Amino acid sequence: MTEQSGSGRITANDVARLAGVSRSAVSRAFTPGAYVSRDTRAKVERAADLLGYRPDMLARSLTTSRTFLVGVITTHLDNPFYATLLQRLIEEIQRAGMAAVTFIADETSNDERISQLLSYRVDALVLTNTSLSSKMSVRCARGDTPVIAINRYLEVDNIVSVTCDNELASAAIGKLFVKKGRRRIAYMAGEPDTSSSRDRERGFRAGLSELGATLHSSAVGNYSHDGGVRAARELLSSSVRPDAIFCANDLMALATVDVARKDFGLDVPGDLMVAGFDNSDAAAWATYRLTSVDQNIPGMVRSAVEEIEAAVVERGRMRRRVLIPPTLVERESTGGPKSIDEPKYGS
């Protein structure tokens, strides 16, 4: 019998032997657009799925320099926003016929991770809420590895960054508070050194001042629930308590609602309006009904993967910035949706 050789692995040679053709023919049968007769292709395909053969990606990548692997570096997934983002990103990557090699960012060992990913010759690198050291940026550029940053804007060459329009959305929330008659308006920041938190604060302030209002107070919640609890207590303990708080993400906003009700006996939105960012699932829960900003994750992810595909084809493209338009979702935590004919922000 012409069986495969000893080892469990089935190679193109085994298929070739069984099909009675050369190994090149097998290779060509699996390469779209290569010179193979209908006849041989049929023989090869029959033999192949008789043996359960599939070309070895590793070996293939060695000659083609295409691995169909995308390196993804993301943060802790406690925050449901990152979890959903990662999920959609992976789905989009696999839809494009590639596979995602995922690492959780570790602050200290980040460079090591990237270097590791490069040693797998990933076709592209996606950073989610993560920065890139200039050293690694150079390494990526040298190896022609395109880098896409989602949700963080990096001032580095040869890198595409995809973010939602944080300033625009935050301004809309600022204006919403003012229109609803609030005057003691506070901001709860995320991690202070991230572009997202800074942009949201800047936009929020701009929105307020556009309608003649100004920021009453602010605190830092570090994007976490616990941090949000502490920051909310801090803000609400003030002698002149705020009557509206914009939190830089939902996790902190939900914490703020909890604290307002449980610790301070406040009514939301009566005594305190709260708005968040991310439009996470929990924002829609009956207990919270939280007004939030939908960053349009599917849109972000689609852009990111499109950038990857473009970059793989035309190597060495320019740095770019992609801005995804977000959507304001109004719920009861700010007094519910406006009347039906009032226009959305933006245009």
Partner DNA sequence: TCACTTTCTGCACACGAGTGCAGTATTAGG
Partner DNA sequence: CCTAATACTGCACTCGTGTGCAGAAAGTGA
Backbone angles phi, psi at 264, to 5 degrees: -115, 0
State yes or no: residue 17 binds DNA (CB under 7 A).
no
List the one residue from 23, 261, 289, 338 that touches DNA (CB under 7 A): 23
C-beta of 42: minimal distance to DNA in Å?
10
How far is residue 60's CA from residue 112's CA, in Å, rounded to a whole number? 26
C-beta of 101: minimal distance to its own copies in Å?
5
Stretch that binds DNA, among 26-34, 76-84, 109-117, 200-208 (CB under 7 A): 26-34
Tokens matching residue 117: 């990913």
Contacts with DNA, 34-53, as mask; x by CB under 7 A:
xxxxxxx------------x
How far is residue 160's CA from residue 149's CA, in Å, rounded to a whole number? 6
Out of its own copies, DNA, none, which partner does residue 101 contact, by CB within 5 to 8 A per kind? Answer: its own copies
Nearer of residues 286 and 313 to its own copies, judged by Cβ: 286
Backbone angles phi, psi at 128, to 5 degrees: -115, 120
> First-to-last CA distance in the chain?
72
How far is residue 260's CA from residue 263's CA, in Å, rounded to a whole number? 6
Identify whether the C-beta of residue 70 lies closer than 8 Å to the C-beta of residue 122: yes
Out of its own copies, DNA, none, which partner does residue 262 contact, by CB within 5 to 8 A per kind? Answer: its own copies
How far is residue 25 CA from its own chain's centroid? 42
Binding-site size for DNA (CB under 7 A) equals 30
List the one residue from 94, 133, 237, 238 that touches its own copies (CB under 8 A): 94
Largest CA distance in the chain: 89
- The DSSP annotation for 261-301 comes to HHTT---TTTT-EEE-SS--GGGGSTTT--BEEE--HHHHH
Identify whether the C-beta of residue 275 lies closer than 8 Å to the C-beta of residue 215: no
Identify whether the C-beta of residue 23 lies closer than 8 Å to the C-beta of residue 10: no
List the one residue from 2, 46, 49, 56 that touches DNA (CB under 7 A): 56
Nearer of residues 60 and 233 to DNA, judged by Cβ: 60
List the one residue from 2, 3, 17, 21 that touches DNA (CB under 7 A): 21
List the one residue from 61, 217, 296, 327 that touches its own copies (CB under 8 A): 61
Tokens 């473009």 belong to which residue? 310
Q: Which residues bind DNA (CB under 7 A)?
A: 7, 9, 11-13, 21-28, 30-31, 34-40, 53, 55-56, 59-60, 62-64
Q: Which residues bind its own copies (CB under 8 A)?
A: 8-9, 52, 54-59, 61-62, 67, 69, 72, 76-78, 80, 83-84, 86-87, 90-91, 94, 99-104, 106, 113, 115-121, 139, 142-144, 225, 229, 254-255, 257-259, 261-263, 281-282, 285-287
